[in-house]
Amino acid sequence: MPRPEEACSAPVGGADQVSRRSYGQRCGIARSLDLLGERWTLLIIRDLLVAPRRYSDLLDALPGIGTNLLADRLQLLERRGLVRKRRVATPESRVVVYELTESGRALEPVLHELVRWSWKHLDPPHREARGDPRWTILALRARFRREAAAGVAESYQLEIGDQVFHAEVDDGTVRTGEGPAANPAVILRADDETLSAIAAGRIEIPEAISNGRLELEGEDGAIRRFFRIFSRGGSPSA
């Protein structure tokens, strides 16, 4: 006997599988998870949130995923309208990058809440866990407090391990990205483990500085602003 939910799945595409498992519930959470609940999906979105990436970049950033699964997830995400595949013409050859659509980018608040939850309610990560500075940038964004950034317009440079990122704050908004900042008011240097521990609130800034694990360059006022803007508290619900 065929299950009722599958009976009338709309025949949208061509050689579409008939049975992607759906919860079949009239509930925003269940319906979101119908699209996002499979393994790896949200992690792909996480990695694309920082910048568009190529297939092989994603493969590197997601150890264990397996080439077929990555291809499958990207196709699904594309059909679901969360990811777009774009051909970028470089001098030598044309490259394909995957980038988030607006719907995909709109998942950032969901991921912020997950990160915040992990800070408060999970044990510290295992030492052998793999890190990536881009994930730490996302954690930084989860600490962004719009109110504290009102009226501020300056940029910060973050040197995490051997990679350089920037955060441009402009009156209640942030934009983060790879590469150096144009005219940074603060330059922050730390290894990824240190900075992610600071973001999670597991170590204090003065402690990290005196340990030599965190280095800061810039005027005192700007440094204070930076830490006020990227400080904890943003959670809206009680």
How far apart, in whole angstroms, are the C-alpha atoms of residue 198 and residue 55? Answer: 31
**Residues between 149 and 208 that touch a second copy (CB under 8 A):** 173, 192-193, 196, 200
String of contacts with a second copy for each residue 123-142, x by CB under 8 A: --xx-xxxxx--x--xx--x
44 contributes a contact to a second copy by CB under 8 A? no
148 contributes a contact to a second copy by CB under 8 A? no
Contact present, 208 and 190 (Cβ < 8 Å): yes
Q: Which is nearer to DNA, 27 or 153 (CB)?
A: 27
Measured between alpha carbons, how far is residue 187 from residues 7, 14, 44, 177, 226 in Å? 58, 52, 29, 15, 10
**Residues between 23 and 42 that touch a second copy (CB under 8 A):** 23-33, 35, 37, 39, 42
**Residues between 153 and 212 that touch DNA (CB under 7 A):** none
Q: Which is nearer to a second copy, 29 or 88 (CB)?
A: 29
Residue in 9, 30, 66, 103 binding DNA, rule: CB under 7 A: 66
Smallest distance, a second copy to C-beta of residue 72, A: 17
Q: Which is nearer to DNA, 28 or 63 (CB)?
A: 63
21 contributes a contact to DNA by CB under 7 A? yes
Instruction: Count CB-CB contacts under 10 A for residue 18.
Output: 8
Measured between alpha carbons, how far is residue 153 from residues 144, 176, 224, 225, 228 in Å? 14, 14, 14, 11, 14
How far apart, in whole angstroms, are the C-alpha atoms of residue 7 and residue 21? Answer: 12
Q: 41-50 and 67-79 are packed helices; what angle lies between their axes, rounded to 10 degrees? A: 80
231 contributes a contact to a second copy by CB under 8 A? no
Q: Which is nearer to DNA, 41 or 157 (CB)?
A: 41
